[in-house]
Amino acid sequence: MKQHLIILGILLPLIAGAPKPQEKASSVTTGSIVEKHGYPFEEHEVQTSDGYILGLHRIPYSSRVKSEGPRPAVFLMHGLLCSSSDWVLLGPDYALGYRLADAGYDVWMGNARGNTYSKNHATLHPLLPSFWKFDWHEIGLYDLPAMIDYVLYETGQDQVHYFGHSQGTTSFLVLNSLNKKFKNRIKSAHLLAPVAFMDNMKSPLVKLAAPFMGDPKSWLNIFGNTQFMPNTKIMELLGQSACNDEAKYQSLCANAIFLMAGYDDENMNATLLPEILATTPAGASTNQIFHYLQEYNSGKFREFDEGKLLKKPKNYPIEKIDVPIYLYYSENDYMSSEVDVEKLMRKLKPSTLRGAHKVPHPKWNHLDYLWGLNINELVHDYIMENLKEINGE
């Protein structure tokens, strides 16, 4: 019972909602992480067509590798409640952001509206409910095009290689199923823990919440649009004190994460827990959560259901996607089940699906794609081979 209370104590600050005015964001940033490891770092701002101002981060080259001439651009998009820091937290030689830079790529890392680096708008303030009236549909329809077009303009290139994790895969599928013209800007897409269909997901938290929070006629009418799980200084301090290598209850910090992602003590980098909690969660809109819960309830990959009788949500026509796609999935992923990924495979055109890599480890979970031990041999080496294939090397 005591252990359950401690895990609850770790989870409660995560779901407490918007920070109070006196609360400060964590001092650990994507820029501080990258520069600590001696890599060059740039910050850019991009405004979407509906007014959101997004933080876009760049590792233009690797300080380890001399590269002449233009470097091919890659664009990395984080998952739900995450940020660009996910791609660099694991450090040089392991984090995908560094591995791609070391391989000679110009690395760009996006941040979705509402997260730590994208809380500005041309006319709306984050304290207004109207600022938070969006879900991952808008991230796919507005945020991704704005950021990718900016990358192409800045680099002078015609295409990027796209990498997405979790929600970063969902928003990619939204964009490319609804915008047929955008396919010409993507040379290849690498979807880690792809999330589209969700009716077979194993997460106990989702199963508990879906009957209530996934019902547009009840929960949405009560709570409306608001911020969910923002990044605060409290989480950084919690990670430093309760989740470091010397902490008595470090294993419980890991269990709180496993409860959401799937249990994998073999590949959990426990030493990284303070840094993870200093940067994650990075904030989102409640509607992003609600939309996923609706997907679980319906068993379909479709637009947000606002609960209006005369406006039924449309299915995303993913069978129309015409971009070279590589999928990376595992059997112990609580958020992206093997059955649901296989359903996605059947929906995609055979000519579109270039490869599907099932991680050869029975315990590999949803967050191991970002922070797991043995990530190179289990995931990243396959990514590098697929990049060589698509580049004709």
Q: Residue 104 burial by CB count (10 A; 0-12/13-18/19+): exposed, middle or buried?
A: middle
Q: Under a CB-based contact definition with an 8 Å cutoff, are residues 39 and 93 in contact?
A: no
Handedness of CA 387, 195, 229, 368 (dihedral sign): negative
Domain ranges of the chain: 2-9+26-390
Distance CA 283, CA 112 (A): 10
| Secondary structure (3-state) at 10 | helix
Q: 10-residue block means of pLDDT along the chain (393 residues)?
A: 34 40 65 96 98 98 82 97 96 97 97 97 95 97 98 97 98 97 96 97 78 66 67 48 49 57 79 83 90 93 88 95 98 95 97 97 94 96 97 87
Note the helical H segments in the chain.
2-14, 30-36, 96-102, 136-138, 144-155, 167-178, 204-213, 219-223, 233-242, 250-261, 273-279, 286-298, 338-347, 368-371, 375, 381-390
pTM of the model: 0.89
Quote the pLDDT of residue 13.
39
Pairing of strands 227-228, 284-285: antiparallel
Quote the pLDDT of residue 2.
34
- Looking at CATH, the fold of the domain delimited by 2-9+26-390 is given as Rossmann fold (3.40.50)
3-state helix, strand, coil in the chain (%, to 5): 40, 15, 45
Q: Under a CB-based contact definition with an 8 Å cutoff, are residues 109 and 116 in contact?
A: no
Q: Give 46's strand partners.
A: 54
Q: Under a CB-based contact definition with an 8 Å cutoff, are residues 272 and 88 in contact?
A: no
Kindly give, in sequence order, each residue whose CB lies less than 8 Å from that of residue 206, ignoring residues fewer than 6 positions away: 198, 292, 293, 296, 335
Kindly give, in sequence order, each residue whose CB lies less than 8 Å from that of residue 23, ignoring residues fewer than 6 positions away: 232, 233, 234
Active centre residues (catalytic): 166, 366
**Triad 68, 73, 74: Cα angle to 5°:** 135
- Pick from 252, 243, 251: nearest CA to 274: 243
